[in-house]
Structure 1
């Protein structure tokens, strides 16, 4: 029971900060916040992504390329140019590394304003940090796993961020229905979208990339949007008027 709670908690917390901080804030600026809250959510993103921490500026610049060149040969992770999801994931890793180098090099113009916190970026992207988090996950499993099959979940913890990205980009551009003609292959994958906290409303999102609510039709529900509304109401963030 402890293992399943830990796995589900890590899955959704890591995914929440990926969609909230890396995607909706760093990439699309659908809301603004003070520097205090930016650093707070920056640190929480590092903690909950853990072994698979993704540099926010690199994530944002790569994601903007995805929108600019959606499902073309310049798209950093379109599923229509790879035989399987694993090839797409590896190609995305290589592209992401280049974006990290661009974000870390002050002489290279990455264009635009992105959240950056150099010490957290360096620590979070270091091999040592990833190994420490990996060791912590492993120790937790050794202490609480009641069956051998539970250890099969352990590698997912190590690669949580890239796995989330692979699911969204592979499924969100191959399976489901389209509300809009975006001149790409973006799809909405309801009802499985709930498991990805709104990220699988790719067709809606590519049509309205700066909208805080990824759902568009009456039967669609973006579970992160009410959280954004609450944070806006509480004054922690300020939603952008679209």
Structure 2
């Protein structure tokens, strides 16, 4: 079924860009890449995330704040201060927009060494761009869906980046198991994480934020880790820290 294939491709390509480029690269600088490849991934992230595109620079600031202020009032996406996942998503979106538009002062420690392409971000984050992507998604759903029931997936596609973030930022701070005792509520949501490409090993990540391998135990397979090693072997990226096994 073509619409299902389309959904799966968008789910994983968007998620890959979020975990590889925005999270592990922009926020944590777990590896390096030159300006050419950085801009290639800017464009690839925009293509895969479409209407839910997030500026790597703003994402990096937001996520660094999350690590610095986990589970406190300054945490931009903590379940501790929201009644439900939708309220948390709205709160996070408001903070993201204020940072992105320069309406709040951000500490210098959160802005150091972030990827920047301001002209591209301005276009990719514009309301017009988001509307055009949403219209394109709607057209594809109407063209490819055998029944209108498949349109129930359309809101997920339109808000894909926020949807992925909500799964981890809400559920991985409420449910799961822990490998490490930390002074926060982070947990490993899934025992084997194929669905979230290793992002659900949130307790592991809070223990070693700069590690390129989010998995620690034998069953915790991080699908992005071998891809990172492959890209390093191809010399597209350069590893800064060896993975902590």
Q: Per the shorter chain, which TM-score range?
A: over 0.9
TM superposition outliers: structure 1 runs of 4+ over 6 Å = none
TM-score by length of 2: 0.94
Match of 1:237 in 2: 237
Deviations 1:103-131 (A, max 9, x none): 999x9956301111112101111011001
- Correspondence for 2:172: 172
Which residue of 1 is the match for residue 2 of structure 2? 2
The root-mean-square deviation of aligned C-alpha atoms, in Å, is: 1.8
Which 5+ residue runs of structure 2 have no aligned equivalent?
Answer: none
Deviation at 1:161, TM superposition (A): 0.4
C-alpha separation in 1, matches of 2:120 and 2:131: 16
Q: Secondary structure at the match of 2:114?
A: coil
Cα distance in 1 for partners of 2:131, 2:44 equals 18
Deviations 1:202-231 (A, max 9, x none): 100000000000001112111100000100
> What number of residue pairs does the alignment pair up?
241
Query: Do 2:30 and 2:212's aligned partners in 1 also have CA atoms closer than 8 Å?
Result: yes
Contact kept, 8 Å, 1:58 with 1:102, in 2: the verdict is no
Within 2, Cα distance between the matches of 1:119 and 1:103?
18
Q: Secondary structure at the match of 1:195?
A: coil
Distance in 1 of aligned mates of 2:206 and 2:107:
28
Distance apart, 1:192 and its partner CA: 5.9
With normalisation by structure 1, the TM-score equals: 0.95
- Whole-Å Cα distance in 1 between the matches of residues 159 and 8 of structure 2? 14
Runs (5+) with no aligned partner, structure 1:
none
CA deviation string 1:75-104 (max 9, x = no partner): 111112211100000000001011102399
